[in-house]
Amino acid sequence: GIQVEQSPPDLILQEGANSTLRCNFSDSVNNLQWFHQNPWGQLINLFYIPSGTKQNGRLSATTVATERYSLLYISSSQTTDSGVYFCAVGTSGSRLTFGEGTQLTVNP
Amino acid sequence: EPEVTQTPSHQVTQMGQEVILRCVPISNHLYFYWYRQILGQKVEFLVSFYNNEISEKSEIFDDQFSVERPDGSNFTLKIRSTKLEDSAMYFCASKTSNYGYTFGSGTRLTVV
């Protein structure tokens, strides 16, 4: 099956700092999503981004499908950005395979 | 924005008991899924359901598990005889054919 690697596994930032999270995957995909898992365990969909670049406020994401990686950028981080960020990939109609996640802690 | 609704949000059950986790997918979605996440681990696929039948299942989804779409709106996951290792967060998800998944808020199952 598809392998998904996320880096770094843990990240600690001061409020206001910027960060880049990376997701590498082992095979061609046509579905890639970034999720934020909040402290209550909910999976919040951030981006559906099988290719290209998208922005939503302080967050943006870029997927280079031909090179099998995706990046999630968080600018001017806030304490509410803390949690686990998951990358998940899949092919048409099939299961999503999740990475191990990046645990982000933003300190005031 | 349309949501996937899961009930209950928390459930505690005795080992060996049957549990049914309920989900209401987004109304125009055709593909339905269950995933689970054991505490501190990554999210794992359990089963996908399309056109009133299972389309794919993982090795985790053994004979103790079953899924059903009893009417036009609900999608359920049944665990026949719960074990301690079934304790996890269970997520329901749905999607259309050409967009990403929408996940519900999860049901936290604790088996004691």
pLDDT digits (tens, 9 = 90+) for A10-29: 999 999 999 999 999 999 99
Q: Does B91 have pLDDT greater than 80?
A: yes
* B contacts of A33 (beta carbons < 8 Å): 100-101
* Mean pLDDT of the residues in chain A: 95
% of residues, chain A, pLDDT over 70: 98
Round the average pLDDT of chain B to a whole number and report it: 94
Query: CA A23 to CA B57: how far, in whole Å?
Result: 25
Say whether pLDDT at A93 is over 70. no
Question: Best mutation site among A43, A49, A54, A85 for testing chain B: the one with the most B CBs within 10 Å?
Answer: A43
Residue A98 burial class via C-beta count within 10 angstroms: exposed 0-12, middle 13-18, buried 19 and up: buried
Q: Would the pLDDT of B107 be above 90?
A: yes
| Chain B residue closest in CA terms to A47 | B100
Beta-carbon separation of B56 and A94 below 8 A:
yes
Q: What is the DSSP string of B58-90?
A: -TT--TTEEEE--SSS-EEEEESS--GGG-EEE
Largest pairwise CA distance in chain A: 42
Segment A57-70 mean pLDDT? 97
Residue A96 near chain B (CB below 8 Å): yes
Q: What pLDDT does residue A51 have?
A: 95
**% of chain A beyond a pLDDT of 90:** 89
Chain segment B43-67, per-residue pLDDT in tens:
999 999 998 999 999 999 999 999 9
Q: Is A102 on the interface with B (CB under 8 A)?
A: no
Question: Is the CB of residue A102 less than 8 Å from the CB of residue A46?
Answer: no
CB distance B108 to A41 below 8 Å:
yes
